[in-house]
Chain A
Amino acid sequence: MAEQRRYRPLASTRQLEKTMTRYYALTRYHRLWGRPLRRPLAWVTSGAPVELLLAFNIHPVYPENYGAICGTRKVSAKLCKVAEAAGYSQDLCSYARSHIGSIMRPDLAPMGGLPRPDLLVACNNICGTVLKWYEALARIFNVPLLVLDTPYLPGEVTGHAVGYVHEQLKEMAADLEKITGRRFDARGLEKRLLLSKETISLWREIREFCRAEPSPLNAPDLFIHMAPIVVLRGTKQSLKYYRQLRDEVKHRVDQGLGAVENEKIRLVWDNIAIWYRLFAFFKDFSQRGACFVTDTYSGGWAVELSPGDPLESLASTYTEIFLNRSLEFRARQMIDLIKDFNAHGFVMHSNRSCKPYSLVQEVIRRQVMRETGVPGLMVEADMADSRVFANEPVKNRVQAFIETLEA
């Protein structure tokens, strides 16, 4: 069926694939180079202070990113079932279930599963699930687990919250000295922070370009092209990649090229992507000229590092992550995005997996609608477990929502 293409592909996607393939190939063959180079492999949560690990020459690997890969490749449901059969509740995060399932049945898993970790690093700034998930991993592999506890912020970050996390980071550095046999290298950490800082500012710049009308990028672009800033944060490879992407996006803006043909409706997305239907889901929007010009999820990696000495900067940066903050903060964030990006509406993915992200959405939705006057749609789904997705009801709501915007 020949269908008219309404979606403009990015040339940088090739470089993205190369960057990510190289990272996962290095990861996969870590057993060949990790030990001789004394570079242990750590499984880490997406909000872990990775610059500190990089300063110890640790190779970080992200089970959450892997969960997204399982989702995109449509194998999550299978892997989740494996974990459920082993006793993990269906109500647990589908990244956790996919990942645990991939450990039990590597034959079903993309890339044959992730390579064994030498240590585990979990930070609860993104959710509480990671604590129990990583405890389970520590039992399975019998490797050290380092936990960074970031207190929830009901308001602005406080001195004692930063102090509390700072102390833990010092302890973590001492633990990492023992585990890696290397001395803590403050200069090395500063170098890593500098690389992160530059990459973050490029990612910010790229996102800011989407204020243009038409927007040069749509949400699926953001979700796909965020991969390097997640798994290669604090490295030269991600810096190099985002320079190229920035140039391409800037070119689009200069030429007035939009991601979606005939952009008529501008929307903001909230929550993690629906990985197993990434394109199919957004096609229902792009076909009717609706473009998601920005989102809260991939924007989580565009937050500037806090000032201060390296460990202090890490302490406040990783405590101030948006998922660790109040409903008021989150509502304000949505309102600002809608105003700054001149959006006509917003869509919230009520993600069954991600409780801290989803539980407060309905209250935020009403507050944002009240303050901005634009409509907001709630879609119930899951980021990776496709069994939760009911296609017809979702399509129905999406259509009604677009009709409302067109009226």
Chain B
Amino acid sequence: MSKPVSKFYLGVDIGSLTTKVVMVDEESRIIARATGRTGFSGREVASRLAASLLIELQLSEKDVAATVATGYGRVTFPADREMSEITCQARGIYQLFNKAETVIDIGGQDSKVIKVLPGGKVSDFTMNDKCAAGTGRFLEVMAGALEVDVKELGGLAEEASDSCSISSICTVFAESEVISHIAAGRTKPDIVAGVCNSVAARVAALTARTGLAPDVVFTGGVARNKGVVNALAAQLGTRLLIPDEPEITAALGAALFARDIAPKNKPCV
């Protein structure tokens, strides 16, 4: 049975492609997390994921002292507060890497670079323009053109011998470039390496705007792709720290903010 004296805090990150929920306890430790495809209703997916966490932890809704929502679907979710994922991301990363000064996040339709001050506050950030180049969506489209699963891209990139060049920054035009490389008989690993280099180049350019200060943490689902990780590290000329679960860090930040805003003396019954 649940312990009635403990309090728990929920962070919900409804992203453009994936929804993430994280539960932390009074000591700010992650005690459960879940992720799912956002699809048509991020709110429903988030509610279902949150319910699954409660079942897993044998808790009831009353045990959750506060909820903070973030991500593109944040306003749809009935939370105590909604916050931008930039603020949440910085907070989550500070919890995991307290020496981090730069966060590079590549999500479904955003890539962003956040400069973090000691304490996890944001000092500056830049994001991609209204364009999917340099985002997770870009990789998904390219994986589709190559008929491989997006999860396989990282492994394939490592097998490349002579990486292709993808020069177009437009996702649609880059896809046709990929198709012409396929037609020219280039190998999948070489094309995938080119795709990863292209994403890394976009994000490296974004990083140049805010400046790069170590430690540099790379988050978002794309941080699981070794091809992009290696290409980005090489282009930036720096080591990248990657959380064990790089896609849930904004949800973690949201959960930590939930802990901050929860009424301290509210009895949990």
Instruction: Please report A residues at the B interface, Cβ cutoff 8 Å.
Output: 362, 366, 369, 375-376, 378, 380, 388, 390, 392-393, 396-397, 399-400, 403-404, 407
Contacts and interface: CB of A to CB of B under 8 A. Distances in A.
Contacts of B129: 380
Interface of B: 72, 83-87, 110, 121-127, 129-130, 209, 211
B84 A392 contact: no
A403 B84 contact: yes
Contact of B125 (A392, A400, A407): A400
B123 A375 contact: yes
Contacts of A399: 83-84
Nearest to A404: B122
Contact of B87 (A366, A375, A393, A400): A400
Contacts of B122: 400, 403-404, 407
Q: By CB atoms of chain B within 10 A, which of A378, A392, A393, A396 has the most?
A: A396
Q: In the A-B complex, list the 7 residue pairs whose CB atoms are closest, starting with the nearest.
A: A400-B86, A400-B84, A399-B84, A390-B130, A403-B87, A404-B122, A407-B121
A284 to B, nearest CB: 12
Contacts of B123: 375, 404
11 contacts: A369-B124, A376-B124, A378-B126, A388-B130, A392-B72, A393-B130, A396-B72, A397-B127, A400-B84, A403-B122, A404-B87
B157 to A, nearest CB: 28
A407 B87 CA distance: 10
A399 to B, nearest CB: 4
A326 B80 CA distance: 48
Nearest to B114: A400
A396 B130 contact: no
Q: By CB atoms of chain A within 10 A, which of B84, B85, B121, B129 has the most?
A: B84
Contacts of B85: 396, 400
A403 B124 CA distance: 11
A403 B123 CA distance: 11
Nearest to B16: A392
Contact of A403 (B72, B83, B209, B211): B83
A136 to B, nearest CB: 29
